[in-house]
Amino acid sequence: MKSNFGVNVRSEIGRLEGVILHTPGPEVENMTPQNAERALYSDILNLSVAGNEYRQLSGVLQKFCNTFQVKELLSDILEDEVVKYALIKEICQLDDVETEFDRLLDLKAPELARQLLEGSVIIRDNLTRYLSKDRFSLRPLHNFFFTRDASMSMYDEVLIGRMANRVRERESLIMEAIFKHHPHFGVNTLNPLKPAEGKADMKSTIEGGDVLIARDDVLLIGTGSRTSSQGIDFIIETLKAQKDKVHHIVVQELPHTPESFIHLDMVFTFLDTNACMVYEPLILKDNPYQTIHIQIENGRVSKIENETNILSALSKLGFDLKPISCGGTVDPWIQEREQWHSGANFFALAPGKVIGYERNEHTIEALNQNGFEVVSALDIMNDKVDVKTLGRSVITIAGSELARGGGGCRCMTMPVKRQSVEW
């Protein structure tokens, strides 16, 4: 087993060296119309179609960098009996299924990993369980293929997500165990529920879709339905302890509805050292949602003030970014439709080399008009195009089914290592 891969992410666009994925499996379909909303879905996905689309994303990434699968990483650490015992105990307490502890402890690591992700079918061996309307004693993790949210590589540490919805909390426990105990990583984790000092603020929520690393001294963080102001305060307190440099946080308020605005990366993503993707109505037009610049130096907040918008704030910090509009610039209806299907949610493999959904035709055309060559993921997978030698480009994957899950390519990727960027 390769070890000591480590963690080092200091931008959104540095050349990707390693990324964690979770290929969607039976957990995606292990729901019914009655419990889909509880699982944070508005509809039920077709796994066979979603799986084929996902293979386009993972296939491109496998040709470009090291890829790691959550299920394999989890199975690896569960071979350690001490880690296995502690993680099962924590999960059983979280999900209020202590009666399942002994049964789970008896499972071999691969099968245990499968059940922790896909769910454990309830054993109806007493009246209460026999009468239960639930199919699972340990519910499936329907959302885990969005690996971005439960943990965030932040420089050479990992920030553990405090999920806004209880149905996703087990994801954070699993990712923290992987980063603490897998020989690939073994890095320090920062957990809002386990602050270095003081008592945890139970109102703190932080999800990875809201946290963008612009530069090693600049973070962009969205606050809305998934990341709270208290969650951002936890990050502020963490940065206060790092007195060797001045840190900046640009906070963007987000609408709580509709659900397509759940994270900042649904309205803004970095594309290159001089370009970004924006949902124009929220990022550039007048609206009631504040943009706030927080400066941290010498262990204290030295400045906190409103900015016109994200681009204005970043310009003052030395970024010269041309905005490219999700859905194009002509029709606000098209902008709205394509933003709904994650049209702003791009993932950078390297500066100027990004991947996103082909279904957002007006967004792809806007990128093409700004010098991004349009390349099909299938051509890369079939070795018609070498992804490593591509210049400025947008790689497109099918997304008719995946997009219905509520996220895009950035949502489905958790980078652990990137090369440095010359700004």
For the chain, what is the total number of helices (H) and then of strands (E)? 13, 20
**Cα distance between residue 143 and residue 146, in whole Å:** 6
Q: How is 355-374 classified by DSSP, letter by letter? A: EEETT-HHHHHHHHHTTPEE
pLDDT, position 4:
84
The residues, ordered by sequence, that sit 6+ positions from 55 with a Cβ below 8 Å of its Cβ are 23
Task: Say yes or no to pLDDT of 139 above 70.
Answer: yes
Instruction: Give me the chain's average pLDDT, please.
Output: 94
Q: Which two tokens stand for residue 140?
A: 């499936």
> What CATH number was assigned to the domain covering residues 16-418?
3.75.10.10
- Can you give the pLDDT at residue 1? 45
324 close to 277: Cβ distance less than 8 angstroms = yes
Domain positions in the chain are 16-418
The pLDDT of residue 380 is 98
Please give the average per-residue pLDDT across 266-292, as a whole number.
Answer: 97
Pick from 306, 275, 305, 314: nearest CA to 289:
306
**Structure tokens belonging to residue 28:** 């995606």
Instruction: Answer for the pair 181, 77: CB distance below 8 angstroms, yes or no.
Output: yes
Q: Is 213 helix (H, G, I), strand (E, B) or coil?
A: strand
- What pLDDT, on the 0 to 100 scale, is given for residue 318? 97
Instruction: Check pLDDT > 50 for residue 9.
Output: yes
Contact 173, 87 (CB under 8 A): yes
Q: Say what percent of the chain tops pLDDT 70.
A: 96
Find the angle CA(374)-CA(411)-CA(394) to the nearest 5 degrees.
10
Q: Please state the rounded mean pLDDT for residues 98-125.
A: 96
Pull the structure tokens for residue 170.
């087990």
Write down the pLDDT at residue 36. 52
- pLDDT per residue over 189-217, tens digit each? 999 999 888 889 999 999 999 999 999 99
- Residues with Cβ within 8 Å of residue 105, at least 6 apart in sequence: 84, 85, 88
pLDDT tens-digit map of 12-51 = 999 999 999 999 999 988 866 666 555 455 567 889 999 9
Lookup result for tokens 């502020």: 236
The CA distance from 24 to 145, in Å, is 5
pLDDT at 108 over 50: yes
Q: What is the mean pLDDT of residues 227-232?
A: 98
Q: What is the pTM of this model?
A: 0.96
d(CA 26, CA 282): 36
Asked whether the beta carbons of 50 and 28 are under 8 A apart, the reply is yes
